[in-house]
A and B are shown apart, each in its own frame.
Chain A
Amino acid sequence: MLSKDEIDKIKRAREEWEEKSVSKTISRFPERKPKFATDSGIVVKRVYTPEDLQGQDYLNDIGFPGEYPYTRGVQPTMYRGRFWTMRQYAGFGDAEESNVRYKYLLSQGQTGLSIAFDLPTQIGYDSDHPLAEGEVGKVGVAISSLADMEVLFDGIPLDKVSTSMTINAPAAILLAMYIAVAEKQGVPMDKLDGTIQNDILKEYVARGTYIFPPAPSMRLITDIFEFCSKNVPNWNTISISGYHIREAGATAVQEVAFTLADGIAYVDAAIKAGLDVDEFAPRLSFFFNAHNNLFQEVAKFRAARRLWAKIMKERFNAKNPKSWQLRFHTQTGGSTLTAQQPDNNIVRVTLQALEAVLGGTQSLHTNSRDEALSLPTEDSVRIALRTQQIIAYESGAADTVDPLAGSYYVEALTDEIEKRAMEYIKKIDDLGGAPKAIEKGYIQKEIQDAAYEYQKAVESGEIVVVGMNKFQIEEEPPKNLLKVDPAVAEKQKARLARLKSERDNNRVKEALSGVEKAAKGEENLMPYIIEAVKAYATLGEVCDVLRSVFGVYQESVIL
Chain B
Amino acid sequence: MDRPIRVLVAKPGLDGHDRGAKVIARAFRDAGMEVIYTGLRQTPEQIVEAAIQEDVDVVALSILSGAHNTLLPKVVQLLKEKGAGDKLVVGGGVIPPDDIPYLKSQGIAEIFTPGTPTSESIEFIKSHVRVEA
Which A residues are within 8 Å of any B CB, using their own CB?
A: 119-120, 122-123, 130-135, 138-139, 203, 206-210, 247-249, 335, 337-340, 372-375, 448, 451-452, 455, 458-459, 465, 468-469, 477-478, 481, 484, 555, 557, 559
Contacts and interface: CB of A to CB of B under 8 A. Distances in A.
B65 A119 contact: yes
A206 B17 CA distance: 7
Closest 8 CB pairs of A and B: A208-B16, A134-B70, A134-B67, A138-B66, A477-B97, A119-B14, A374-B96, A468-B115
15 contacts: A123-B41, A131-B14, A131-B43, A132-B14, A135-B14, A135-B65, A208-B18, A247-B19, A340-B115, A373-B96, A451-B19, A451-B22, A455-B23, A458-B117, A459-B119
Given A208-B40, A555-B39, A455 B118 contact: yes
A182 to B, nearest CB: 29
B91 interface: no
Nearest to B29: A559
B18 A134 contact: no
B97 A134 contact: no
B27 A455 contact: yes
Contacts of A339: 113-115
Given A452-B26, A478-B97, A481-B98, A119 B19 contact: no
A133 B16 contact: no
Interface of B: 13-19, 22-23, 25-27, 29, 37, 39-41, 43, 65-71, 94, 96-98, 113-115, 117-119
Given A339-B114, A340-B115, A478-B97, A131 B41 contact: yes
Contacts of A374: 66, 94, 96
Contacts of A335: 19
Contacts of B39: 555, 557
Nearest to B68: A134
Nearest to B18: A208
User: At the interface, is chain B mostly helix, strand, loop or mixed?
Assistant: loop
A248 B64 CA distance: 13
Given A123-B14, A131-B43, A559-B25, A372 B114 contact: yes
Given A133-B67, A340-B115, 15 more contacts: A123-B14, A131-B43, A135-B13, A203-B16, A208-B16, A208-B18, A249-B19, A339-B113, A372-B115, A448-B23, A451-B23, A452-B23, A459-B117, A459-B118, A559-B29
A373 B41 CA distance: 22
Contacts of B40: 208, 555
Given A133-B67, A374-B94, A338 B115 contact: yes
A contact face: mostly helix, strand, loop, or mixed: loop
B121 to A, nearest CB: 11
B77 to A, nearest CB: 14
Contacts of A452: 22-23, 26-27
Contacts of B13: 119, 134-135
Contacts of B69: 134
B24 to A, nearest CB: 9
Contacts of A123: 14, 41
A375 B39 CA distance: 25
A134 B44 CA distance: 12
Given A452-B23, A557-B39, A477 B98 contact: yes
B16 to A, nearest CB: 1
A338 to B, nearest CB: 6
A165 B69 CA distance: 28
A133 B70 contact: yes
B17 A208 contact: yes
B73 to A, nearest CB: 10
Contacts of B41: 123, 131, 208
Nearest to A482: B96
Contacts of A208: 15-18, 40-41
A374 B98 CA distance: 10
A119 B97 CA distance: 22
B67 A373 contact: no
A491 to B, nearest CB: 16
Contacts of A340: 115
Nearest to B14: A119
A123 B13 CA distance: 12
A208 B117 CA distance: 24
A206 B16 CA distance: 8
Contacts of B70: 133-134
Nearest to A130: B43
Given A208-B18, A209-B16, A139 B66 contact: yes
B104 to A, nearest CB: 14
A41 B96 CA distance: 33
